[in-house]
Structure 1
Amino acid sequence: MKTSTPARINLALGLGAAMVLIVAMAAYSTIDKLVNDAQQSLKLQQSTTLLERVGRSLANAESTQRRFLIEASDENLFGYEDARSGVVAVLSQLRAADEVNGADPKLPALAGSVDRRLGMLDEAVRARRAEGLTAASMVVNSDVNRQLKEEIDSLSESLVNDNMQDLARAQAGGHADAQQTELLVAGAGLLTLLLILGALKSIHHYHATQQRAEDKLRDSEAMSRALTLGMAEGVVTTSEDGVITEANPAALKLFGYTRHEMLGSQVTHLMPERHRGQFDMLLDDLRARKSGFSEAGREVLAMRKDGSEFPVTVSFGDVVVAGKRLFSAIVHDITERVRTEEALQASEYQLRQITDSVPALIAYLDRDGRYIFHNKAYGQVVRPRDGVILGKTLQEVLGEVMYQEIRPNVERVLAGEPVSYERTQGSSELGERDYAVSYVPRYEDENQQGQVMGFIALATDITAMKRMDRMKTEFVSTVSHELRTPLTSIRGSLGLIAGGVAGQLPPAAQGLVDIAKNNCERLIRLINDILDVEKIESGQMRLALQTVALQPLLGQAMAANEGFAGQHGVTLRLQAPDEAVLVSVDTDRLTQVFTNLLSNAVKFSPQSDVVEITLSVRAQHVRVEVRDHGPGIPAEFQSRIFQKFSQADSSDTRQKGGTGLGLSISKAIVERMDGSIGFDNPPGGGTVFYFELPRIAEPAAAIPGASARPGAPGTRPRILVCEDDGDVARLIVLMLEKVGFYADVAHGAERALVMLGEQPYDAMTVDLALLPDQGGAALIAAVRRNAHIANLPIVVISVSAGQARLRPDHQGLGVSDWIEKPINEQLMVRSLRGAIHGVPAGRPRILHVEDDLDIQRIAAAITQEFASFEFATTVQEARVALQAQHFDLVLLDLSLPGGSGWDLFPDIDALPYHPPVVVFSATDVAEADDRGAAAILVKAHTSNEELLSTIQRVLKNSSVKPATPAKSATPATESRDS
């Protein structure tokens, strides 16, 4: 059946309509996709532009910040804050665009890195303001800062690459869709001419859509152009052959060209001629790359129109416009940044040159204990196995063991406390060395407030200093000990001469002997002070603490110093409570302290003045004050008055005498006895020195061993003088003190009994007839009835002594000797010594082992009245003598030719009769090393009287029967009986 024309037309129209509909639908879908692709391309270009702006803004912020670090001007600081705000603003735009386009997981990482980078920039600014360019340089050049920069560059490049790839895919898809639509329309035109109208209509519709897309594209380009117009960085667009097609105002200003001059010129005109060949190679490389690439942060040298050169960073990318591929370059002037970096590098170089030339170990560590800086010397001494220190923690570099040792010091400095200590550090090159180490905290601001940011470690090599200090100490000790022996000879000889051993001296000769004796004592005191300082510093000072009443001790020291005070026209006055004040002290050392304070007060007091001594009880402490009315202590000297060798004026050494050691030694002694010492400047002028000691609550009667004082090794005998006549009492005291006794006076029997209860005495003198409150005989009887003092030796000194000793009622009093007035001084002294010590029957024989012949002669002269001496100068001679003869006592020096005196103790212990040994040496002996010696005496500390009394005491307490005098001396000994 044939179809009618209308039907064919209708069919054709229907088919044409269907074809038009199909073509229209396909064209509409394709066009809609093209529009979407165009919009997506626009968004990707905007995102890429914003990413590049982030990098440029951050670079601008860094540049302005570097200018501030160099110049530290407010103008640069404001510029940095504006640039920083620009980074934050661009970053916010990028975040907003990302929310519209679809979140990219890399963008938060980039934003976080940018925020931390801004934080590092801010930290450098704070460091510059707080501590200066060096501290800021440490922050700028830190590993953390460089890592953040690399991380930002990497993320930016990755995001730009992603955008470019998406843009390329969108553009490729649009081209493919357009080709499919054209084929579809062409095929439809071949099927029927009736579809022409539909095709024309569809084409018209297509072109309309295309026009709209192009309009949007032009709007996008206009927007992009507007963005580049407002950018601070220069933007230059070129063709593939390097011809400049576009440049924003910033680029024109940067290079000094007008728009007309720049457009159409070769881009190589913007760089020095010597670098143009390299750029041609770069252009070839860019052309060879795939579309959508980006490259950020290449540093090159650019050239302005006037020929001046300047450094820039260039970020490259490409874009296809109207089918043409164009290259874009974002140019940032980094002149200021380079200048800042060069200045920082120069500053860092200068700092390193300085620190490397300093003979000390220097390092800086942050709050986490991680090394930020160290000098060359530090790296040479503190060298880990891999040789790397920077960036590591203190624990990693030093090792766990050493770190745990210094950890408390690190914690203290991080808490804001400066720390100083000493430690030993070993290295393979230098060996084991001693260092004085200091840690100094570093704060956030220059006012040393706020959080501690880290600390500076400074270590000084003190190995040589400590070695020299040890050598000095050993030298002083050796010289001082070597001086003791000849000084002992000089002192002993002068004492014997002054005592009349060579007969009565003419007045002129007596004066010269007194001068020599006084200066000898002065030199001995100096040597003893030096050795005391050595003992204190080495921790070898030993104290023999015992509980004693303080008032008698002060009285004895005052009595001993009254002669010195009289020479200066000064009077000593004591104010103390009547009841006994007990303390636990080393009596000799406390007497040394009190004597030092008294002598200082006397020396600095005006003529006819009074030095006031006050004893007071304060709660659980006892306070002794010594006040003078002299010139006082200058303010500038007060802080170092207790330091060694300190004196207010160097002229004081000549005017007042002394070495400046006394107060330093006194402070150490008092503190060793759990006390304290200090001084005040009272309103009335002068100075008050005081010391405080813990008070002992027990009464004197309860003190163990309180009555055991007589005969204590190395102490001076104490005598109680019972005499109502003040002049006679004073005369007896002077006689006793002259020969080395301590003496106290009681003017009545009742007072004598009180003093005997407060203080142990070695002996007592009593006047029988003249005591006002009780007779002398009654006093002696009362003493014998008291179990604590019943055995006290008593010597009667009285006008009626000769008659009184014959009375029957006086026979049982136990009097050691009766001496008539007027007093025979030598008889009194000899009687008291005999009463205190006693001597075995017969004449004792003493072996004196001593290589110094002068000391031998002096010792023999001192004991000539009651003992005979044999001498040995070496250990071997002494051994021969001990085997050949019987001795009652061995007087032993420790430093002998060919051996030590200690070597003789086994020989002495092997003898059947075991004679006691008295060590008499220039060397101090520790209590733990006494080897069973009966007494230990130091030559420079021992007077003639003390040597004599010690020998007598040891002989009295010895169980050895008196020796029978030898018929002849052995060849190895020399008899020198005197």
Structure 2
Amino acid sequence: MPLGFQSGQALELPQRPSRSVFLLVGLLSIVALSILAVRIQVERHAALAARGEVIRSFARRVAVNDVLTGLVEAESAQRGFILTGAPAFLTPYAPARRSIAEALDRLGADYRTMPAQQAHLVELRYVVGAKLTEMDDVLARYRQGGLARARTRVEDQQGRTLMERARTLVAAIVADEGATLAAGVDRAGATRRHIDIILGVVLLLLILLVAAALLVGWRVGVERHKTEQQAWESLTRLRTIFASTTDALIILDSTGLIESVNAATDRLFGYARDELIGRDIGMLLDAAPGDAPLARRLGLSTEGTPARGQGVDRSARHKRGHIVPVDVSLARLPLAEGFHLIATLRDISERKAAERLKDEFISTVSHELRTPLTSVIGALGLLSGGAAGPLPEPALRLLTIAENNAQRLIRLINDILDIDRIGSGRIQLRSEPIDLPALARRAVDDAAGLAAPRGVGLRLDAHPVSRPALGDGDRLLQVLGNLLSNAIRFSPEGETVTLALREDGDRAVLEVADHGPGVPDAFRDRIFGRFAQSEAGAAIPGGTGLGLAISREIVHALGGEIEIDKDRARGACFRIALPLHARPIDADTARPRMLICEDDPDMATIIGDIIAGEGYEVEQCGSAREAQALARSGRFDGLVLDLRLPDANGLAAVRALRAEPTTRDLPIIVVSAFANSEGGTPVARALDVVDWLDKPVDRPRLLRALATAMRRAREDRPTLLHVDDDPDMLEVTALGLADRGRMLRATSLAAARALLASRTPDIVILDINLPDGSGLDLLPDLFAADGSPIPTIVYSATDLVPEMNQVFDAVLVKSRRSLTALSETIGAILDRQRARPREEEA
């Protein structure tokens, strides 16, 4: 049947004809002919044996007859001599006797294995001997007494009797030989018939084989013609498709050399066909150098999907030098000599232009609408609150209407922006532990303002969960807010909306249930679509049709599932299932660390509580010497320092920290009861401290200083993420690399992903053996927001296969390379990163 081009149809490489089948058929034919040949030879030998037996039987008959003939001749010679007395008559007598003896000897040899004939022959010997004796006696009498005396011996009739007996025995022997001859002739005839049959079978077999060969040859010729015709038609189709498609199609070998291109490739890149054949695909697309497989060099998989989290949108180079944005996908092409690749490049210039227009529109919507709407809502709120004086009741009602509709409009704008971010993959989700019961309580509290005016009650049924979820708490709160607001909108006055939380195995289940009209069956399958609203929903103001679509995308991005309960008899129930984290997140890897150096334990506790309440990990010390030693470890993101310390002046400690390379950029917040007397702000500028706070500490100002310190910690120093399951190795590496940058630490894949979700390190130091998987599983996450790969150094006790070395910036083995080598490698990578912007500016 003709080859098809249906989607999903798998084409298999044609298999070579089975050699074993041909060998088996040939072997069987040879064996059959050999058996027939052997059978013919056997029958031939049997025929020869039968013929020999016939000849021997005839010879024995002749020999028996020779005995009788010899007797007759001897007797005739005797009688002639007696009757005539002429000696000439006795001439044949002696030869006849010799021929008789010879014939008897021959018969004796032939009849040795024939008992019946042997018995006849014994008797015949006796009779012949007696007859010869009788004839000799007659001759002797004749010579002694003449004819009269010889006559007396003849007249006793003994000679005649013996002669008759001899004839009888010869006749019996001849008769037996006749039977033997007839049996031999029959056997010979049967053998001849067998040979004729076998020859007929052989002839028939040869005829069948020739006929089968002719039939197979004919069918092979017909099938070959059909196959060639189909191949020609398929090749014609493929050539036509290959030549007429608007996408650039490039056939490559496994190393990336171009073997064939279509006309669209010439049009897209401006090269003639001969200029591309035999060249590396790198002349059109940026590909990593080396001998690695092409898909890895291009950062793609052979199914067209990203290989390391990278999109398929690529920049190609035209012959004239300008950049052409293309969509790239690779597909494996199995051929007899091995796998080749088909690269499909689609010009997406128009799509990129449309995306730029959309982005500009979204930017305009974001800036030109959200900013004034925020001002409008703020102004309306101030007016409603009496900032401009008391207003009459009608005016307050109008302000409320305006404020509600402004809020509705800004929610619509926010939803549209969220949908755009989700669709383009630009939505950023944090990965941090979520206290689900606390989040559920907050969601109910936030929805209370919407439920109260409608007369709808809210109920929280939150059971404790043993482990936190891992994700973005604010986005999950947005999802619960959408579900609760929908439930409140559809609930009749006096009904209650319930938010329930329970633990189900390794998942947490959140359910939002109402007692409204429910969801029509016809609408359930598209309820999570964009701008999808049922007739009942469209009739109730306040909905945009985007909330559930956004909620589904957020829940899926958090690794969970959202669905509607289809078995609920009344109202609607939306169910969210989120995976619970396997174990508590290591605080060292999930939260920034602040060092508090304060000799007053009470004051240190107060400051520590304020900082810890904002999600920081806090450690305390009481002397300048301790502060300097801990700061040099590289484990801290900032330092809160009192100036009055028991072992040194705080300013001297700051100067010492600024003098060391490892602590030169450490953000420092000074807290002192004598700030004004020390010079305050001028000294702060001179020592490059974040802020100089008086005691008692102003909490808002301290929090602002913390935010500034964290921003500086992330901006001023390179960030190094070390992923290793050995805490001692993490500690030693942090101390050894403290002068290279700020060190983040993770002891598992989950902890590393949690950090990567909220920040982008400048360099990743990766161990291969981790408790929850291989460090190589982290590769799809090691990309910056712009799609560029994060420089990665493998620092492990495990050797990688040589092919994997091409993927990483460096591969160091713990037992072979020291921390100094690791530090030098990091320094070289950082130097390249610093040099790149200068080269681009030049």
Bucket of the pairwise TM-score, normalised by the shorter protein: 0.3 to 0.5
TM-score by length of 2: 0.37
